[in-house]
Structure 1
């Protein structure tokens, strides 16, 4: 373990040494450019040596850097994985039992855990939130939400035997199957879910599924699914040969 930490420190120091001259020379930014606003410091101590962290601009981006060992604590986007589950022409939704958006409807989804594949994580979240075992069919949407540093990856899936589901507390208050025309659009929890389900319903109507990717732009300060506060840009739609169930 100690050897791995030493190797990691060496790699971090080498990366920092490579980046500092570029930042000092102003590479990648126009001369005289204003630095980005300094964010609130999220962490105080180094996970490698316990030294004090400070916010610095080693590469034009604010980083938590250790004042003792120079370890750079990079903050990366979080991956949310989940499923759009269909069974006999209906779609499985859960009513959230926890904040944010408690009481509103969503697809089964949550953060990917270390050591699991995205498909396995999506199936796990579906079991945890909806009490449903599923067959994963294919990736369906991948949405970036830069404003909140999240990536959403939702899979198309089908209920697996014994074809049962039930809300799992505390995550969910209720789980139910909805026909496409009965989806509670005004009571959906998140913009990502709203956009994904709209594409899913359109694909059902076309009779052919596509794979969708894009960036969800959100108005600063807006709610998770506030009407008129978000839009999908850079939308890429890749048609697949699979026929959608009628």
Structure 2
């Protein structure tokens, strides 16, 4: 994904110019009138791995009702809103996409997706009940055993990697925070 082009100053509306501001190491959109420097930073995506059962033997998946990857499975996640903490965003996204009430646990995975300018952060969570109601972005919810996850139907590499880490940590009996970078797939 190309870096977004900032054409006008968000403070005064003047057309911006691409230049390297003093003390910086890369080109930015700079307003020649008021001097405002516009920084384009990655977007945060937050979500949860909501589990159910006495030993957390099942996970809540959501079948996407929207593109990208409509019809594929994911965990509840979405864009963090301005003025919202990471935990608050993860709880909100879980409620919006699955109608799920959760007890939020620890941060579990942080995955950089540099080529699209995103950072995906997933928290462990425990479902408080199975009174679920798919939101507008979800076709259906599915509480499924970990050994029945439809791996070939998982919507995004970040979700797949997070679930793989979760399955491995669960089998090992110890959870840790996972960090990694997902590289752009090269076409042949």
Using the size of structure 1 for normalisation, the TM-score is 0.70
CA distance in 2, matches of 1:221, 1:55: 31
Q: Distance in 2 between matches of 1:167 and 1:137?
A: 22
Aligned to 2:109: 141
Give yes or no for contact 1:80–1:151 (8 Å, CA) kept in 2.
yes
Q: 49, 59, 71: which is aligned to 1:91? A: 59
Q: Which has the larger radius of gyration?
A: 1
Question: Cα deviation per residue 1:30-80 (whole Å; 9 max; x = unaligned)?
Answer: xxxxxxxxx676232111111111222333422111121121110001111
Q: Does 1:163 align with 2:130?
A: yes
Partner of 2:94: 126
Q: 1:172 aligns with which of 132, 138, 143?
A: 138
CA RMSD of aligned residues (A): 1.7
1:76 aligned residue:
41
Give the unaligned 5+ runs of structure 1: 1-38, 223-246
Indicate the structure whose relative CO is greater, using CA pairs within 8 Å and at least 6 residues apart. 2
Instruction: Give TM-score scaled by structure 2 length.
Output: 0.91
Equivalent residue for 1:209, pick from 172, 175, 178: 175
In proportion to residue count, which structure has more helix?
1
C-alpha deviations, 1:205-226, integer Å up to 9, x for none? 112212111222223569xxxx
Could you tell me whether the CA contact under 8 Å between 1:41 and 1:55 is conserved in 2? Answer: no
1:199 correspondence with 2:162 = no
- Over 3 Å counting, the alpha-carbon distance change for 1:136 and 1:74 in structure 2 is same
Which residue of 15, 18, 40 corresponds with 1:52? 15
Give the conservation status (yes or no) of the 8 Å contact 2:6–2:38. Answer: no
Structure 2: 5+ residue runs without aligned partners? none
| Partner residue, 1:114 | 82
Aligned length: 182
